[in-house]
Amino acid sequence: MTWFWNRRARFLVFAVVVAGIASSCQRQHPIKVKIDPAFETGSEKIAVFPFLTAIHEAEDPDGLASATMNKYFKPALDGRKDYKFISPNTLSYAVEQNDLGAGYRKFVAEYPKSGKADPEFLGALADALRCDAFLIPVVDMWQKDEVDYQENATPSTFVGASIVVVDRTGSKVLFHASDENYIEGAPSEAGDRGVISSAGRVRSDEGAKTHRAPPYEEVAIMVINALVGSLPTR
């Protein structure tokens, strides 16, 4: 009996070690998170900007990056019942009603590059919305690598983004999280296409004959869920 339990103990130790090695090989999501202690107890009402973009216009002339991220961002935020979010639509309405259009356009153009906002603009918008803080999302990676089916290469889709929560004037960062992910298309000998993400997720696309990169939406949802899920529970 003693021999049996010793053997079982050795097996359990081995299993834990293997599991630890496997998990350490997978990238954690989100990649980076920083939380100011004040954020976990304050900021009752948070106004949410629509997704801004750091992608050059030449690389995304139709604005697909921000449009796609916005499509899935609000539903993900709605799932967080522990926060009081003011929607991007309400924020946009407040901008129009309070003649803050010039400040908003400047903010949209400059913030993704500098990470800084005009405190006068944010302060005036915070007064109009009666909010304590702002959540600012930015997409900064939006890339597809597609190859001809005869090429010996792997098609991939990459998406990266961040969310930042600042106080009502933008002078203090209360929360910051960034994440990037990808899905690879990997054709098999049978002509099927399995896809693998950096988080180890695998699915199959049976019957695919070309080396096309997976849809942006699939990667965008993964990144958004990681970012929204990184907000501390209240």
Is residue 111 predicted with pLDDT exceeding 80? yes
Sole residue written with tokens 């890339």: 143
Of 40, 48, 35, 36, nearest to 126 (Cα)?
48
What tens digit of pLDDT does each residue of 22-57 get?
A: 333 346 888 899 999 989 888 899 999 999 999 999
Sign of CA dihedral 58, 136, 30, 83: negative
Is residue 191 predicted with pLDDT exceeding 90? no
Is residue 20 predicted with pLDDT exceeding 50? no
Domain residue spans of the chain: 33-229
Of 182, 164, 159, nearest to 174 (Cα)?
164
Instruction: Count other Cβ atoms within 10 Å, centred on residue 157.
Output: 25
> What number is the average pLDDT over the span 129-156?
85
What tens digit of pLDDT does each residue of 67-76 get?
A: 999 999 999 9
Sign of CA dihedral 141, 215, 49, 83: negative
What tens digit of pLDDT does each residue of 162-180 get?
A: 999 999 999 999 999 999 9
> What number is the average pLDDT over the span 180-203?
60
Residue 42: its pLDDT value, please?
Answer: 83
Residue 148: its pLDDT value, please?
Answer: 60
Is residue 206 predicted with pLDDT exceeding 60? no
CB 48 within 8 A of CB 94: no
Could you tell me which CATH number the domain at 33-229 has?
A: 3.40.50.10610
Output the average pLDDT for the chain.
82
Tokens of 115: 């990470």
